[in-house]
Homo-oligomer: A and B are copies of this chain.
Amino acid sequence: MTQDSISRFRRFSRAVTSQMGVLDQDFLGLGRPLGPARVLNAIGHGLHDISQLREYLRLDSGLMSRLLRQLEAEGLITTTPGAEDKRRRQAHLTPAGATEYAAYERLSDARAHDCLARHPKPDALLAAMDLVASALGRDHIQVQLADPCGQAAQDCLEAYYADLSSRFGQRFDPVRSGDPEASAMRPPDGAFVLAVSDGLAIGCGGLKPLADSDMPTGEVKRVWVSPNARGMGVSRQLMQALEGHARDLGMRRLRLDTSAKLSEARGLYRATGWTEVARYNDNPYADHFFEKVI
């Protein structure tokens, strides 16, 4: 079983526990009550901002504060005032806390592994979990800037290329880590965004500058949404985010190319203010071209 399966399983678990209004009691059995265990895990999972923690765990500020003091007294975390705003405190794991967190992670991994290992079709099970998690978590999908060469982005892009390969019946194999376009999709030139649902990247989109005569123009590329998360408005969110970044980067116009084989997409473009234009590049796979002034 790959690490990726485990993370997909855990995403499902998180989606279910946080979206269906359920509490995860998984954490019991390691000698710590649910409250502090949830806080410890959330911090371990990368939520350092206390206000974020409160929102994620839906805890009262008083209760949150007490739980933090408790973990601090146990020597598992430290809290420090924020760098910019000293009111916003940050929580971080101490080495002892990291060890405890790792124990929870192992427990969780083991459960995921067991469940998948004894299933006759683990891939089908994971796909079903993805579908359910996306449906349950559709209101909590976040679009965020990411490094196009990071692991999550690479996972998305590989899935995207595989998707394209199967649609065009032809192998897509762009240079991977040394992707010549990657640097163009990083600030300050462009942008690359990921749609993240409960910690798993389920979609992506890139924006790179396009040399043009009359006005600063960007090109939208590699917009892709995981099949199990389609129809949930993710691509719309991705496009909005890319437009926002384009504006911030001073671009005045966006372009994109697409193919008749990706028919779902064309409706979205038309519905969100894009107009079809004449071919503007020599991409052999593209047969439809759109433009939007922003």
Contact = CB atoms under 8 A, between A and B. Distances in A.
A132 interface: yes
Contacts of A26: 20-22
A36 to B, nearest CB: 17
Interface stretch (A41-49, A67-75, A88-96, A114-122): A114-122
15 contacts: A12-B132, A13-B20, A16-B20, A17-B22, A20-B24, A20-B26, A22-B23, A22-B24, A23-B25, A115-B136, A119-B232, A125-B132, A128-B128, A128-B129, A132-B132
Interface string A234-276: 0000000000000000000000000000000000000000000
Copies in the complex: 2
Contacts of A162: none
Contacts of A138: 118
Interface residues of A, number: 30
A135 interface: yes
Given A20-B17, A24-B21, A119 B132 contact: no
Interface in A1-40: 12-13, 16-17, 20-26, 28
Contact of A120 (B20, B115, B124, B230): B230
Contacts of A125: 131-132, 135
A131 B124 contact: yes
Interface string A127-166: 1110110011010000000000000000000000000000
Contacts of A174: none
A115 B124 CA distance: 22
A25 B21 CA distance: 5
A231 interface: yes
A24 B17 CA distance: 9
Given A129-B132, A131-B124, A23 B20 contact: no
Contacts of A24: 20-22
Given A20-B26, A21-B26, A128-B132, 12 more contacts: A12-B132, A16-B16, A17-B20, A20-B24, A21-B28, A22-B22, A22-B26, A23-B25, A115-B135, A115-B136, A128-B128, A132-B132
